[in-house]
Every structure is written in C-alpha cells, then in structure tokens.
Homo-oligomer: A and B are copies of this chain.
C-alpha cells in the first residue's frame, strides 16, 4: 500500500527535526566549524539526505535560530514575570542566564555567529537583534525597579546593564574557545551579582 501524502509529510517533518537535533549536538561539539558531513554522521543519515532538507550550513543555522526564537527559551517576559521583589527577580534572571550559558553555550555561540555573519538573512539577524534589545530593556527595567527598593546600587542603570551584558558575552566567548579555565573555574553567580550590590 503506498504511503499517503499525510504520512509522507509526517516522515519529512520527523527527518527534518532529527537533522536539527543532530545539528545542535554537532554544533555543541565543534562550534560553528561543524560541517554538513558531521551533522549527517551525528543524525546517522546520509550526507545527501541532509542536503535534501538544508541547502547549506547557513540554512541549518537559520533553522536553528528560528527554532530558538519560536521555542520561547528566549522569551524575556517569562523570565521577568516571576514572583519576588525586583532584586530577587533580577538575581533569579541573572542566575538562569548563567546556567544557560554554562549548560547550553552552543546556543549563544550560534547567535554570536549569526549576528556577525553578514551573509545571514537580514530577517533572522533583525529578529535576533530585537530579542537582544528586549533583554537589554527587561534587565534595565528590573535594575531601575530594584534601585527604587534599594536592592541595587544607585549607579547609572545603563552602565550596569552594559557591564552585565559584557560579562555574559565574555563568558560565552570563553566557552566558545573551550577554555579549560572556564570549565574548571566557572565563576559563581555571587561574583557577578556583587557588581549590582548597594
């Protein structure tokens, strides 16, 4: 009995998802230098099959970024709408970001790669940039609120956000270089949180 169009569609979606899962793993291992062949090996499918779904490595990157943007992993509002005082929510937000950078550094590597790759589709880069801006704004808002409650030092809130962003970006960079010192001595969240202490 021939497969129905519906069944074929389901198989295609499953294969595509399987390749993307494999791409994350290949990417976690090799960074953006991972090749299409390594993605195929990781997915345990042929090189040709990967090409049937994705015309290039950039197409895979784009699909991975889309996946992240849609998944809500990056939804700032969800992170902001937590119980507690502004200072507690800020602490919880920063701690969660640090955990994510530690455990899934490949996501942030991918973002950095896509943002600095001028051949990447303008649309994807623009949406990532908007998401970055939303993070900046959300963090700034929490800082201002926590300054009002006296939980955060009364410095210029923009300087504080830039300092936090620089720190988080720098950690991702060290992770990107597979820094042994980062693996062995990942700084406790307390250290960066002191930057905000009154």
Contacts and interface: CB of A to CB of B under 8 A. Distances in A.
Contact of A163 (B161, B165, B167): B167
B195 A192 contact: yes
A186 B159 contact: yes
Contact of A167 (B116, B170, B182): B170
Interface string A168-184: 11110110010001101
Contacts of A168: 170
Contacts of A130: none
A175 to B, nearest CB: 9
B136 A162 contact: no
A163 B191 contact: yes
User: For the complex, would chain A's binding face be called helix, strand, loop or mixed by DSSP majority?
Assistant: helix
Contacts of A167: 163, 166-167, 170
B169 A185 contact: no
Contacts of A158: 181, 184-185
Contact of A185 (B156, B170, B187, B191): B156
Interface residues of A, number: 36
A160 interface: yes
B188 A162 contact: no
Contacts of A115: 177
Contact of A191 (B160, B177, B184): B160
A181 to B, nearest CB: 6
12 contacts: A155-B190, A158-B184, A159-B191, A162-B174, A162-B185, A163-B191, A165-B170, A166-B173, A166-B174, A167-B167, A169-B174, A195-B195
